[in-house]
């Protein structure tokens, strides 16, 4: 029984690791399954933001998760008590492997006039202009 418990703990640890680190194609596939329009663009932005690691635990200053959702404007974090929390989520929710809440907030950000759609993610220009071939190997 003790061996079984140990093996189960290892399996769960591996599963949780896999849940927070995607491959490019796996993330694109999940976003497509979630019905995200422009899933190629969202995947590429996550690629640029995380330097190709697609690690949902990513954090860069006030930016949380794959899309560096900002605690100054869009989510709530104790480090930024004056943040507007316009999406109504705790920022840590953008650092797990569940994408539904991330996508809800991304849609809100994308639709905001002051964010200029995808152009608000400035770093995307490093890699994302040619999306026609970006996901070619994924067979989506």
Residue 55 touching Ca ion (CB under 5 A): no
CA-wise closest residue to 45 among 115, 92, 113: 115
Strand 63-64 with 75-76, pairing: unpaired
Among 47, 62, 68, 101, binds Ca ion (CB under 5 A): 101
Least CB distance from residue 64 to Ca ion, whole Å?
9
Q: How far apart are CA 117 and CA 3, in angstroms?
A: 52
Among 47, 62, 77, 102, binds Ca ion (CB under 5 A): 102
- Contacts with Ca ion: how many residues (CB under 5 A)? 5
Residue 88 touching Ca ion (CB under 5 A): no
- Phi and psi at residue 99, in whole multiples of 5°? -100, -10
Radius of gyration of the chain (CA): 16
CA-wise closest residue to 69 among 96, 91, 90: 91
Longest distance between any two alpha carbons in the chain, whole Å: 58
Of 67 and 121, which CB lies nearer to Ca ion in the complex structure?
Answer: 67
Least CB distance from residue 81 to Ca ion, whole Å?
22
Residue 90 touching Ca ion (CB under 5 A): no
Of 97 and 131, which CB lies nearer to Ca ion in the complex structure?
Answer: 97
CA-wise closest residue to 19 among 53, 55, 44: 55
Of 48 and 75, which CB lies nearer to Ca ion in the complex structure?
Answer: 75
Of 6 and 98, which CB lies nearer to Ca ion in the complex structure?
Answer: 98
Residue 93 touching Ca ion (CB under 5 A): yes
| Site of interaction with Ca ion (CB under 5 A) | 93, 96, 98, 101-102
């Amino acid at each position: 029984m003790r061996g079984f418990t140990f093996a189960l703990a290892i399996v769960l640890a591996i599963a949780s690791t896999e849940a927070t680190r995607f491959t490019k194609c796996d993330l694109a596939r999940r976003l497509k399954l979630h019905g995200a329009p422009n899933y190629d663009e969202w995947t590429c932005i996550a690629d640029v933001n995380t330097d190709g690691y697609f690690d949902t635990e990513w954090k860069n200053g006030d930016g949380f998760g794959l899309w560096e959702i900002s605690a100054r404007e869009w989510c709530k974090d104790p480090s930024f008590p004056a943040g507007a929390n316009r999406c109504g989520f705790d920022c840590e929710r953008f650092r797990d492997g569940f994408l539904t809440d991330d996508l809800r907030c991304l849609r809100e950000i994308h639709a905001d006039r002051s964010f200029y759609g995808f152009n608000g993610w400035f770093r995307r220009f490093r890699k994302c202009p040619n999306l026609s071939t970006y996901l070619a190997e994924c067979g989506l």
